[in-house]
Structure 1
Amino acid sequence: MAVAAARALLLILAVAGALLSPAAAEIKQESFKDDSRSSILFEKFGFSHHGSVYISVTGAKASSTLAKPDLAQLGFFLLSDEALFEAIYEQQPPTDLNPNPESAPGCVLSSPYVTPLFTFAELDGDSHYNKTFPITHPDEYSLFFANCAPQTSVSMEVRTIMYNTNPDGTKDYLSVGQAPVPAIYAFFAVCYVVFLVGWLYVTLYRNRLSAHRIHHLMTGLLVARMLYCISAAEDQHYIRTAGSPHGWDVMFYLFQLVKGVILFAVIALIGTGWSFLKPFLQDKEKKVLMVVIPLQVAANIAAAVVGETGPFLEGWVTWNQIFLLVDVACCCAVLFPVVWSMRTLRESSKTDGKAARTLAKLTLFRQFYVVVIGYLYFTRIIVYALKTITNYKYRWVSVAAEEVATMAFYMFMFYMFRPAERNQYFALDDDEEEAAELALREEEFEL
């Protein structure tokens, strides 16, 4: 019963596979030694009408602490999204509501809901097997290895290739839903180039005397984001055409790390008023940066492990939990400086002689706080939901939505905190000053 429950649990990983970062290549070579897992999820891929799966197994060996294992209970199979939940339900052990022992699950390889490919019984005399399997029904499939033999461990080397065939006969190694992703990243790379040129014109030419250190850090953020999009476009392009990123995955993870660290640092520094309201950081603000930056580094290491390996890694689920945990921790930590600045400005507005300007700064921080919350919520929750609910053919929508949201957030942040001639934030004329003072009195009256 415990074994059956474990099999059902591992089948559920097929659902999670669609919600995580895409792997770094669709041509994979992996080795397993004395692996006793009952199910191993290799990859999840969206196939068209002309899709294929190539599997090559060498050095396959099965050993058991009991009798000689039945090789027919060790093999590979495909599981479609359509049949996923039926297969999971079938693998559930008997319960109090359904105590009939006859309903206990057998080997998943014999399930009518899966597409069996081959078993170890079909290996040749050298424990080798290789074959290309055409996909007859287009869908998103998960490739599994099943070990239904009790107390049996397996050693083998496996090479898998998943691809769709284009009308001209060439192979497309990107899943159907990921095919537009290289073009999406390339488009936004061009957008960030234009954005960067415009920002440099504002900061270095028109308002260079009003530029502060934070503006130069924001320039670095734009450069990092631009390079991230370029490396992501090249990474996905080479995977699509050759099945391997040809080294662009290293650049991708590097710029992913850099842009993540700089983004959270910029949000935290703007939230503290650094370089705007004061040229120094307090101890508690330094602690926020000391927490956020290492967490971002840890999150990107976890993302690299997930992207470079895959669900067949034994610690795959743990690494994803680490990635999720540190990402949420960064999002929470980076909001503290904004809240502290809003509290400080609210207190100073009651005693400051130029309360109108303090009120305007407070309003600015309120807007920034709301937009940061919205951006983090959208990119962590809504984008995740899009990956979950959209059809496998439209998985690129979540990538496009995240990039659009990021561009909109950057444009807002860079506009609100752009260099200004009269002061760090804004310029108020006499009429605006009087209107701000009136708004302050009304706010105090409401409080």
Structure 2
Amino acid sequence: MAVPGAFVSSILLLLASAAVAEIQFSEIRSDDRPIIPLDDFGFTHRGWLELNVSGIALSKAGLELGNLGFFLCTRDSWLNVLKELEEEDITCALQSSHVKHVFTFEKLGQRTSFDVEFDQEDANQYTLIFANCLQQQLRVSMDVRSAMYNLDGKSGRRDYLSAGKTILPRVYYLFSLIYFVLAGLWVYVLYKKRLTVFKIHFFMLAVLIMKGLNLLCEAEDKSYIKRTGSAHGWDVLFYIFSFLKGITLFTLIVLIGTGWSFLKPYLQDKEKKVLMIVIPLQVVANIAQVVVDETGPYGQDWVTWKQVFLLVDVVCCCAVLFPIVWSIKNLREAARTDGKAAVNLMKLTLFRQYYIVVICYIYFTRVVVYALETITSYKYLWTSVVAAELATLAFYAFTGYKFRPEAHNPYFAIDDEEEEAAAEALKLEDEFEL
């Protein structure tokens, strides 16, 4: 059986992702794909799979139904299956000894539904896959309900969160508490320095609150999934606050990059255009996130939406850097012409630092965290979440500290010697490479 590259990519992408499993409902309609990935889960030694399939309809009768069925497969096993298929040692993934058979349709008989409970004692991260080795002859329709869970060692209760993700509710609760504390401290700072507060500082407060609410909803979402296998509506609130958090954060970076509010009370046309690009892209990114999370990997466009989300996120990250670059260039030009070299040199240094920190934050949360997810054992996937949240917390703290309201602005307390030294520094300084 030849497996197209799109299906290879979808399974590898699913296995490499840090998806949090829950009870999944998949509707497959007149589908002739050879491989349909359904769900992903990290099992302990006390893992179980409940598979309920109903409404089975085949486009043809009288075919060898042993070539249709469900199986579990790890990432390493899937690579071995692909190798066997390429070398023509087997003609169907179900024939491989590297997969764990859950149910094949030869056992179906005249029924149009079946229920299976599968005891998974081998601890590892598995993907539930449906294989149709008769894809050129047969289209399949069915409704699939899959529930994968681990039994708690002490109480025996079901835990629907993947091994390595089961402590995520506590992680998100902790970080949400930290952000609410930071929001309270920021309110105190704004009150104490109210004479030098700008509009941007209130916007920073809004970003902190959105981030805290986003984490709180995510904690509740994962907590309900852990206990019941369903989010009970918390996923809707999570998507709402995730959308608001994303828009406010990217908008804040753009506004700080332009120097809006504390350097100038207006936005230039090109800076407005950046916002007009970033905000719609964030809308698209959140739509893609909802589609990816809610449809599941069985959807035929799942890989496409996943790629759209990653692409749009990268474009947004690149777009927010332009206003910082423009501010740096404007400050360099102003420092050479308006006779306030020391003032502009301090501003220039601040924006350079912020530019570097934004790049480091984007690189770490988009590249390093993904690498951690890929190379870390499935038992410790929570570490990538902690790493991403710590990096985000550090970024928020740096932004708040560097752009906090100042009662005595150091820019206005510069003597002649500092002015002359700054002017000389600007003359000797090499061009800043962006």
- The TM-score, its normalising length taken from structure 1, stands at 0.92
Are residue 145 (structure 1) and residue 141 (structure 2) matched? no
Determine the C-alpha separation between the residues in 2 that align with 1:119 and 1:346. 70
Determine the C-alpha separation between the residues in 1 that align with 2:346 and 2:429. 17
Are residue 178 (structure 1) and residue 165 (structure 2) matched? yes
Residue 348 of structure 1, CA deviation: 0.4
Amino acid at match of 1:37: R
Residue 81 of structure 1, CA deviation: 3.1
Determine the C-alpha separation between the residues in 2 that align with 1:366 and 1:437. 21
Residue 260 of structure 1, CA deviation: 0.4
Partner of 1:247: 233
Q: Which residue of 180, 189, 206 maps to 2:176?
A: 189
Secondary structure at the counterpart of residue 209 of structure 1:
helix
CA contact (8 A) 1:122 1:129 kept: no
Q: Can you list the C-alpha shifts for 1:374-430, whole angstroms capped at 9, x where unaligned?
A: 00110000011111110111111110000000000000000100111234xx45644
Determine the C-alpha separation between the residues in 2 that align with 1:80 and 1:440. 63
Are residue 379 (structure 1) and residue 365 (structure 2) matched? yes
Determine the C-alpha separation between the residues in 2 that align with 1:300 and 1:371. 25
Secondary structure at the counterpart of residue 38 of structure 2:
strand
Determine the C-alpha separation between the residues in 2 that align with 1:227 and 1:446. 44
Matches within 5 A, 1:338-357: 338-357=324-343
Determine the C-alpha separation between the residues in 1 that align with 2:160 and 2:240. 23
Q: Can you list the C-alpha shifts for 1:55-77, whole angstroms capped at 9, x where unaligned?
A: 0111212124xx73211111000
CA contact (8 A) 2:18 2:381 kept: no
Q: Which residue of 19, 22, 26 maps to 2:22?
A: 26
Residue 318 of structure 1, CA deviation: 0.4
Partner of 2:252: 266
Partner of 1:46: 42
Matches within 5 A, 1:37-436: 37-64=33-60, 68-92=62-86, 103=88, 105-149=90-134, 150-167=136-153, 168-203=155-190, 205-423=191-409, 426-427=410-411, 429-430=413-414, 434-435=417-418
Residue 29 of structure 1, CA deviation: 1.6
Amino acid at match of 2:425: E
In 2 relative to 1, CA 270–302 (structure 1 residues): closer, same or farther, beyond 3 Å? Answer: same
Determine the C-alpha separation between the residues in 2 that align with 1:436 and 1:228. 46
Q: Which residue of 17, 32, 35 maps to 1:36?
A: 32
Q: What's the % identity of the aligned pairs?
A: 48
Residue 28 of structure 1, CA deviation: 1.3
Q: Which residue of 2, 5, 16 maps to 2:3?
A: 5
Determine the C-alpha separation between the residues in 1 that align with 2:408 and 2:36. 63
Moved over 6 A (4+): none
Residue 15 of structure 1, CA deviation: 2.1
Residue 200 of structure 1, CA deviation: 0.4
In 2 relative to 1, CA 370–437 (structure 1 residues): closer, same or farther, beyond 3 Å? Answer: farther
In 2 relative to 1, CA 170–74 (structure 1 residues): closer, same or farther, beyond 3 Å? Answer: same
Determine the C-alpha separation between the residues in 1 that align with 2:363 and 2:280. 22
In 2 relative to 1, CA 18–196 (structure 1 residues): closer, same or farther, beyond 3 Å? Answer: farther
What are the ranges of 5 or more consecutive residues in structure 1 without an aligned counterpart? 95-102
In 2 relative to 1, CA 434–300 (structure 1 residues): closer, same or farther, beyond 3 Å? Answer: farther
Determine the C-alpha separation between the residues in 2 that align with 1:219 and 1:437. 38
Determine the C-alpha separation between the residues in 2 that align with 1:76 and 1:373. 44
Amino acid at match of 1:200: V
Residue 118 of structure 1, CA deviation: 1.1
Secondary structure at the counterpart of residue 262 of structure 2:
coil
CA contact (8 A) 2:73 2:98 kept: yes
Residue 109 of structure 1, CA deviation: 0.6
Secondary structure at the counterpart of residue 91 of structure 1:
helix
Determine the C-alpha separation between the residues in 1 that align with 2:193 and 2:389. 28
Amino acid at match of 1:119: T
Determine the C-alpha separation between the residues in 1 that align with 2:8 and 2:64. 22
CA contact (8 A) 2:32 2:138 kept: yes
CA contact (8 A) 2:49 2:147 kept: yes
Question: Alignment RMSD, CA only?
Answer: 1.6
- The TM-score, its normalising length taken from structure 2, stands at 0.95
CA contact (8 A) 2:40 2:125 kept: yes
